[in-house]
Amino acid sequence: MTTDPILFQAGLWLLVHVLCLLCGFLVHEWSHAAGMRLFHGISDVVVSSGILCFSVIPVGHLYGWQIAIVAILGPGASCLVGALVALLAPGSFLQYWFLLHAVFLLPFFGDGRSLILGFRKWARPIELRVPVINR
Its pTM stands at 0.84
What's the confidence (pLDDT) of residue 2?
61
Of 24, 3, 46, 29, residue with least CA distance to 95? 24
Would you give the end-to-end CA distance of the chain in angstroms? Answer: 44
What's the confidence (pLDDT) of residue 131?
65
> Identity (one letter) of the amino acid at 52?
L
- pLDDT grade for 91, boundaries at 50, 70 and 90: confident
Q: 51-86: per-residue pLDDT in tens?
A: 777 788 888 899 999 999 999 999 999 999 999 999
Is residue 47 within 8 A of residue 83, CB to CB? The reply is no
> Identity (one letter) of the amino acid at 129?
R
Q: How far from the centroid of its chain's Cα atoms is residue 46's Cα?
A: 15
Specify which residues 48 forms β-bridges with.
Answer: 55
Higher pLDDT, 11 or 78: 78
CB atoms within 10 A of CB 73: 20
Residue 45 to residue 19: CA distance in whole angstroms? 25
